[in-house]
Structure 1
Amino acid sequence: MDGLSEDSTLLSAVLAADFIDRITQNWLYLLGVTLTFWGYHTCVGKLDIWLTLCFIAWKYSTATALLQYIDLKQIGVVTGITLAICFFGCYILQRVSPRNGNGLTGDARSRLIPSYTTHTRLFPRKHSFSYSQLSVGVPVDYSGNVSGFISNDEPSSSTRLRRLFRLDAWFYVNPTDHLQRQHSPGGLRGKLDSYLESKDMDPSQYPHAYLVTSPRFLGFGFSPVSFWFLYSPEKALSAIIVEMHSIFGERHSYFTTRDFDAEAKHIQHEPSNDQGLQRAQVKARVQKGFHVSPFNSRKGFYSILASDPLGPGSGFRGLDITLSLFSSKGHPKLVANLVSENEAVDPCDMTVAQTVEAVLNWFWPVAATFPRFIKECAVLFYIHNLHFWHRPEPLKSSIGRLADDIEKSLEVAFRNYLRSLVERSSTPIVVRYIPSGDPQVSEEVMRSPSATDLDESTNEIKIKILTPVFYSRFVHYAHDSEAIFCELAESRTFWTDRPEQLTKIFLKKGSPPLHSSSLVDYLWFQIIKNLRRRPRKIERPLTSAAKPSSHNTGIDIRDFRMSSMDAFVIGKGDDALKKAYRTAVLQLFVADRITLGSTTSLGMIELLGRVGISWALASLIAHGFP
């Protein structure tokens, strides 16, 4: 300004007066922008406020002028050096801090097992591959950290970053990655006992157990198959659990016992000098019931041959496991082997140099398990022209995938709704509800008011949700009875032991009256009502070579009304439940019409839209104050 220098004490006062003058001249424009800004951000969140403020700052030269004083290259170098110092500092602290030992003596100790796996496909095309991998063996009874190298307990860190990278150990086996999803206070041992009890087995028959699996490295990794070796009180191999994981996050476990009678007959016919060299083995055949490879159907059976990796007084003997897949007609299709490549290593005996060497040698094989799976799938599909099988929903004996945020919100609403139906039932009924997809929730027993333990007329029903997709499909139906019986008989997204008793819970009722506490709720649920349409049934099995059947459903002449669960949420749900429910349902229904049902794609479109609106608001504000 003329007559004022940059050192003048009146400069700040003049700038403030100029700013107030511009506000006075543009007060009407400013009022309109402020009301628009307030109305928009009332319906969204803090992210949009910060985006708008950042765009406003970018619009003004006073803010952008600061960038010329910032050296981005220097900031990048300093940030990289800082992260490196923090990373290696954590490692040094980890090495100098006192650590627990194995906590065990004898053969069952935590070990690093350099191993080698081979896959040989025999039908319908021949294809084979092999690669080195790092397996770890951990005693199930032990929970803790082994010399800062292997950790086989659940993460206790409170921060998300620390839980992700697990800086307390290089490799770890997390109990949440195995068997049932729900947390067990007993760690691996507690999960194993719960699994055995679900199979009507006495856990005391197998007091000793040893788990062989692929570990995670700093939070990354994928274990397609794990082996639980179960031992009798005399430490004799007695059973094995083969736990399989799919890339979709589903799980299935095969339990088989050792046939001692068949072994005794076999040993009687062998020369006496060979009996002492015989390793204990579990040899069995189990029916396939899980979708693992996209190039195999769910039919057929597995042949399992697993040798005892431990031996009394002989230390760790090594891995020697063979899984063979046969078709339902008995034709061999696939053979997979897992064998030890070198001697197993006890982390307690490793020096710092050996630890560094092991990390450098094995971090990539552990992290590359999933990319290798994708690469081999691409070879089979594009080079060998194999047809792939679309993923079917899991069976009752399997564990479904993890639920997304929308399905978690709908699970809460469905649980509350089911509880209200049971509590309003006039007949004595007990429902054991088993959810799916969220390890933080557990099963719940719901009772009607007239149900008592002494009443013989009480009907007990078990409802098990097989996949989280049930929750997102249930809200598409306008009628509860139709939803339950279509999802049970056609799509098979849930299971019940007494389907004939479902009518006592989910009765066909008339349209419930709409009772809303506010105009906003009324409008939102009217939109949900108008967007609702019946979902298509899940077809299975379906290969890439087959064409899906045409869905000629005709015209639905029924009134697509507000569902009973809508009425429950809007009438008896709290504000948090209403907001979570209507947001989840609207995202599903809008995604059906815009992004072919993909809520992820819809979320990306929503984010781009919010960024665009924030930029437009920032431009309006900047335009009013040139």
Structure 2
Amino acid sequence: MAGPSSLSSPSAIAGSVPVPAQLPASVIAILTDPFRVSLATALAAVGYSALYSGPYDVLLLLSLAIVRQGVNLGDGGFSGLISWSLAKPVGGTILAFLAFQLFRLRWTRAEQEPWNGPAKALLFPCRTTHARMFPEKHSFSYSYLVVGVPVGWQGTAGDMISTGVKTSSGLSSWFSLAPQARKGWYDIDAGDYLQRGMAELGLRGKLDAYLQTQGVDPSIYPHAYLVTAARFLGYHFNPVSFWYLYGADKSLAAMILEVNNTFDERRMYLLTPKDDSDSQIAGESKGVEQSLPPRTVLKQSWPKDFHVSPFNSRHGSYSLTAVDPLSPFMQGTGPLTNTINLVSSKGHGKLVARLIPDGDAIDPATMTLYHKLRFLAAWGWVGFVTFPRIVKEAGLLFFRRKLHVWFRPEPLKESIGRHADQTERQLEATFRRYLRHLVQQSTEPLAVKYISAGLSPNKQDDAAEVMLSPTARDGAGAVEELEIKVLTPVFYSRFVHYAHDLEAFFCELNESCTVWVSRPDLLPKFVLKKPSPTLNLSSLADFAYFKIIQHLRTRPERIERPLTSSAAAVKKPATVDIRDFRISSMDGYVLAHEDPEAKKEYRSCVLTLFLADKIALGIVPLLGAQRLALQVLFAWLLSPSVGSLLTEFVEVARRIVVS
């Protein structure tokens, strides 16, 4: 075996043996020298590779080794030889690639079908103003850009606005000369609006689907126009979107307000004219619209049932005064003027929010390259600072105006919950299969409609699934219908904490309000309090994991918050659950019916949640940060030994190249 002295000998490196055959021998000498690597270091390396075996984990260890050991990878010799030999071909390849991309983008533009419908895509430079009058006065305004598109149109307008454009993905698209559609700077993705997901339906398809859920025939509104804050460079923050619905005579007939809060929740309000003084569509404007020519104005009021601002409760009412930007007959191009008033449940006027024009609407199809660059420089940054501006004003209201904060309640049935995180998405898939299993085991004729929360389904059928019991499928007797709608994805992570399914449903329905059930009396017909399921174990790992899960399982605390930051939480006497927390029925289902990969995924999710409850305040990302900190510490302690070996590898390779 070659020792350290043989590695430093030029004759050993440049001897009679060919150079390519000497590098493996030198490497073997480094690895097999018992004085180079101690037993503790070897065991630590084995432990690290067992716990953290991914490519990024190895990269972390090597990076720390280079930092601590000072491994010189860029000082002449080996790296210098490579850099000089590759500089010219790499640079030439990059220049050729850029030239090819310029040619491809210029000459491979796909033709799009002309839009024969009313209205056209427009850019609306605006300002938004907020004036709070109660309980403290506070006002502000800032620039705000919205985009308007005809609902049903698909394509790109002047390389500035696009919707419904499907671009090719993958490496091959960078080298294809086939005609390709390209998105504009401001892109409207149908999947971002109304019911989550289902982008393949397009804006018109999603609008029709929503109207049908409200019991409205979509043919009543054959024309529609969407005004919204579009995606810019992939970024999207959109507090409110306005859907203008027009009748066959192209006059404004109704509106949809699509409201999003900063908690990623959503509520749609369908505003139609009614026969009362607070709801009408007028032909002339008054008050704040006196300076405008006569045009269609929609006025409507409705009760507030959605948590938007932390400084307002979920009670009270809204009123809207909206001017039709396309009047007359969907041929206009602005101005865009909308006013929303918030009134408290006691009749106090609290807030007036307005969206007003800050210049004329712009048709992107008529913009020159100079105008596009100037517009992007003036307005491209606006969308990125909308959320920071909101945070700034919230800070002023809390610290300077001393307003109380209303804590976020769980969304109601009419609202759409936030997006699910990775753990909740994985648990939802298991819960859906488990629910199918329960319905399949029921002897009663049941039709269970399950509506998930937090997902972005690709198909409309995935948003709601109807599950039939065997007797219902066979048509034996009158079928009883039950609808289960999960209101927030936190339901899935809370459900696995319960050992008893019936307790889980009723507690989450009546106490924490994370699920809605149309007929709770039907739950016992397929969700019963069963005896402890048989522990069907296929491996020692399953036994260990589920025993730990059984030991860590505790009933979750009720979601109960004080109404405002000034209210004190009611302290309840401490209680101890003396029941035996066995494995749950869903645990038993997973062990008995799921494949090994699904078992591994489920037990990992549940164990992560339970460990987060114990050592990370119930916050899964915090548990991940703790795990990363331990990994960095482990790699830091191991890095000196790895660095010394890496230094010798580099030295051997450098001497071979130089020789």
Q: TM-score, normalised by structure 1?
A: 0.88
Partner of 1:230, secondary structure, is: strand
Describe the shift of the 1:46–1:102 C-alpha distance in structure 2 as closer, same or farther (beyond 3 A): same
CA distance in 2: counterparts of 1:330 and 1:261, whole angstroms = 19
What residue number does 1:405 align with? 422
| 1:599 correspondence with 2:655 | no
CA distance in 2: counterparts of 1:142 and 1:280, whole angstroms = 23
Contact preservation (8 Å) 2:163, 2:183: no
What is the CA deviation profile of residues 381-420 of structure 1, one whole-angstrom value per residue up to 9, with x for unaligned ones? 1111111111111100000000000000110111111111
What residue number does 2:4 align with? none
| 1:131 correspondence with 2:146 | no
Could you tell me how far 1:467 is from its partner in structure 2? 0.3
Contact preservation (8 Å) 2:62, 2:642: no
Partner of 2:467, secondary structure, is: strand
Could you tell me how far 1:616 is from its partner in structure 2? 4.3
Contact preservation (8 Å) 1:258, 1:281: no
CA distance in 2: counterparts of 1:30 and 1:264, whole angstroms = 84
Q: Map 1:455-466 to 2 at 5 A.
A: 455-466=476-487
CA distance in 1: counterparts of 2:391 and 2:492, whole angstroms = 29
| 1:67 correspondence with 2:74 | yes
Contact preservation (8 Å) 2:337, 2:355: yes
State the one-letter code of the partner of 1:429. Answer: L
CA distance in 2: counterparts of 1:119 and 1:102, whole angstroms = 41
What residue number does 2:217 align with? 202
What residue number does 2:494 align with? 473
| 1:347 correspondence with 2:368 | no
What residue number does 1:371 align with? 388
Describe the shift of the 1:258–1:23 C-alpha distance in structure 2 as closer, same or farther (beyond 3 A): closer
Q: Map 1:130-529 to 2 at 5 A.
A: 130-153=141-164, 156-158=167-169, 168-259=183-274, 278-312=294-328, 314-440=331-457, 441-452=462-473, 454-529=475-550
CA distance in 2: counterparts of 1:85 and 1:227, whole angstroms = 46
Could you tell me how far 1:457 is from its partner in structure 2? 2.2
Identity percentage over the alignment? 44
Q: Map 1:113-132 to 2 at 5 A.
A: 113-132=124-143
Moved more, 403-412 or 439-448: 439-448
Contact preservation (8 Å) 1:121, 1:334: yes
Could you tell me how far 1:220 is from its partner in structure 2? 1.5
What is the CA deviation profile of residues 145-200 of structure 1, one whole-angstrom value per residue up to 9, with x for unaligned ones? 2221111226544369x9xxx97321111112211003142211111001000000
Aligned length: 613
Moved more, 490-499 or 437-446: 437-446
CA distance in 1: counterparts of 2:391 and 2:346, whole angstroms = 29
State the one-letter code of the partner of 1:285. Answer: S
CA distance in 2: counterparts of 1:130 and 1:89, whole angstroms = 46
CA distance in 2: counterparts of 1:544 and 1:89, whole angstroms = 60
CA distance in 2: counterparts of 1:356 and 1:57, whole angstroms = 47
State the one-letter code of the partner of 1:522. Answer: F
Could you tell me how far 1:216 is from its partner in structure 2? 1.8
Describe the shift of the 1:378–1:266 C-alpha distance in structure 2 as closer, same or farther (beyond 3 A): closer
Moved more, 259-268 or 580-589: 259-268
Partner of 1:463, secondary structure, is: strand
Moved more, 28-37 or 530-539: 28-37
Partner of 1:366, secondary structure, is: helix
Could you tell me how far 1:469 is from its partner in structure 2? 0.3
Partner of 1:562, secondary structure, is: coil
Contact preservation (8 Å) 1:410, 1:471: yes
Contact preservation (8 Å) 1:392, 1:541: no
What is the CA deviation profile of residues 488-519 of structure 1, one whole-angstrom value per residue up to 9, with x for unaligned ones? 00011011111111111211111112111001
For structure 1, the 5+ residue unaligned runs are none
| 1:549 correspondence with 2:570 | yes
CA distance in 2: counterparts of 1:26 and 1:558, whole angstroms = 56
What is the CA deviation profile of residues 466-492 of structure 1, one whole-angstrom value per residue up to 9, with x for unaligned ones? 000000010111111111100000011
State the one-letter code of the partner of 1:46. Answer: G
Contact preservation (8 Å) 1:249, 1:401: yes
| 1:103 correspondence with 2:114 | yes
Partner of 2:346, secondary structure, is: coil
CA distance in 2: counterparts of 1:195 and 1:201, whole angstroms = 9
**1:4 aligns with one of 2, 7, 11:** 11
Moved more, 25-34 or 435-444: 25-34
| 1:582 correspondence with 2:593 | no
Partner of 1:450, secondary structure, is: helix
Could you tell me how far 1:58 is from its partner in structure 2? 3.3
Describe the shift of the 1:539–1:93 C-alpha distance in structure 2 as closer, same or farther (beyond 3 A): farther
Contact preservation (8 Å) 2:256, 2:270: yes
Contact preservation (8 Å) 2:323, 2:336: yes
State the one-letter code of the partner of 2:407. Answer: H
State the one-letter code of the partner of 2:425. Answer: K
Moved more, 276-285 or 189-198: 276-285
CA distance in 1: counterparts of 2:384 and 2:37, whole angstroms = 56
Describe the shift of the 1:252–1:154 C-alpha distance in structure 2 as closer, same or farther (beyond 3 A): farther
CA distance in 1: counterparts of 2:160 and 2:95, whole angstroms = 20
Contact preservation (8 Å) 2:502, 2:528: yes
Could you tell me how far 1:542 is from its partner in structure 2? 2.2
For structure 2, the 5+ residue unaligned runs are 1-7, 174-180, 649-659
What is the CA deviation profile of residues 560-586 of structure 1, one whole-angstrom value per residue up to 9, with x for unaligned ones? 111111111122111221111111111
State the one-letter code of the partner of 1:367. Answer: F
Aligned CA-pair RMSD = 3.7
Moved more, 414-423 or 8-17: 8-17
What is the CA deviation profile of residues 130-156 of structure 1, one whole-angstrom value per residue up to 9, with x for unaligned ones? 112111111011122222111122654
